[in-house]
Amino acid sequence: MTPPTLTTARLELRQLVEADREAVVKVFSDPEMSRFFAADFSDPAAASAMVDRRLAYRGPAGQGHWVIERDGEVIGVAHLRPSSELPGGVAELGYYVASAYAGQGLATEAARAVLGHGLDALGLPAVWALVHENNAASRKVAARLGFLDVGSGIHYGDLHRVLVALAPVPGRPHHIELWVPDLAEAERSWGWLLGELGWREFQRWPAGVSWRLGGTYVVVEASPAMSAPEHERTRPGLNHLALHVGTRAQVDALAEQAAGHGWRPLFGDRYPYAGGEAHYAAYLENDAGFEVELVALEGPPAH
């Protein structure tokens, strides 16, 4: 199994292939990219050898090396693979975006996609990162992603911070089951939305379907045991589901696309702060009356 293609609001991360060699060498031709490396990858031979090592990767299914593309242009690389520096072959995350794209949040966006893939899709208990002691920008990226700083050590020939992101297992929902009056409509609306957020189809049977993200799954079922023909969110019972979305831009994109997939906006006159000034979110309702709240993990800009 090769590493899957990962998509975000602005980026596509796909498996590194031989045809990417020239583009990756170009990314690293800027000496600034090698500032925190022991090797000088601005030397085309050194950069090409680095590509060779990445192409030669053979490891656990779903892990490996990606190129980071924006609008079809390779702007960086990322990896998730067993660490050669930390004991036990634990999964190590790395992310590198061309200096020309610094300050735009693209490294955070790419790293979040790979981290989510590792913790959620692959179900890894933890993902580690080694960040050079003096690489303040990369350390800020890791902090935004929830990495914990657990110490430092000599790795890759210099002093690095040792960081870890843990899967939030205890207390996490096992599954959520929604009984729906129209299974096809539920697949159209819920299937699209959950798919956009990284959930993947898990189980299917004549009356229902489920989607899974990490250890949690959501079920929609047209059960013959239903005691009413429709859902009413203002009655006692489920009012809505609230789901995390990576960035404000992603919330905006989903809210804009939702109408084509069976959703309509709620509280549109107060978008995106219907839940308060510190809460950037979209509220949507589908044709069956189910409400979903899409909450940006990235907080609102400072006033």
pLDDT bin (cut points 50, 70, 90) of residue 177 is: very high
Residue 205 has pLDDT above 50, yes or no: yes
Domains of the chain: 6-166 (3.40.630.30), 175-296 (3.10.180.10)
Give per-residue pLDDT as tens, 49-62. 999 999 999 999 89
Percent of the chain with pLDDT over 70: 97
Q: What is the predicted pLDDT for the residue at 300?
A: 47
Q: What is the predicted pLDDT for the residue at 303?
A: 42
Q: What is the predicted pLDDT for the residue at 173?
A: 84
In the three-class reduction of DSSP (H, G, I as helix; E, B as strand; rest coil), residue 231 is classed as coil
Percent of the chain with pLDDT over 90: 83
Contacts of 204 (CB under 8 A, 6+ apart): 210
Give, in degrees to the nearest 5, the angle at Cα 249 between 301 and 241.
95
Span 11-29, average pLDDT: 97
Say if CB 128 and CB 163 are below 8 A apart: yes
Give per-residue pLDDT as tens, 236-269. 999 999 998 888 999 999 999 999 999 999 999 9
In angstroms, the CA 152 to CA 159 distance is 7
Q: What is the predicted pLDDT for the residue at 298?
A: 67
Residue 99, strand partner residues: none
In angstroms, the CA 24 to CA 28 distance is 6
In angstroms, the CA 14 to CA 282 distance is 29
In angstroms, the CA 146 to CA 112 distance is 10
Q: What is the predicted pLDDT for the residue at 156?
A: 95
Give per-residue pLDDT as tens, 100-135. 999 999 999 999 999 999 998 888 989 999 999 999
Identity at 254, one-letter amino acid code: L
pLDDT bin (cut points 50, 70, 90) of residue 170 is: low
- The more confidently predicted of residues 278 and 94 is 94
- The more confidently predicted of residues 298 and 11 is 11
Span 157-173, average pLDDT: 86
In the three-class reduction of DSSP (H, G, I as helix; E, B as strand; rest coil), residue 250 is classed as helix
Q: What is the predicted pLDDT for the residue at 302?
A: 42
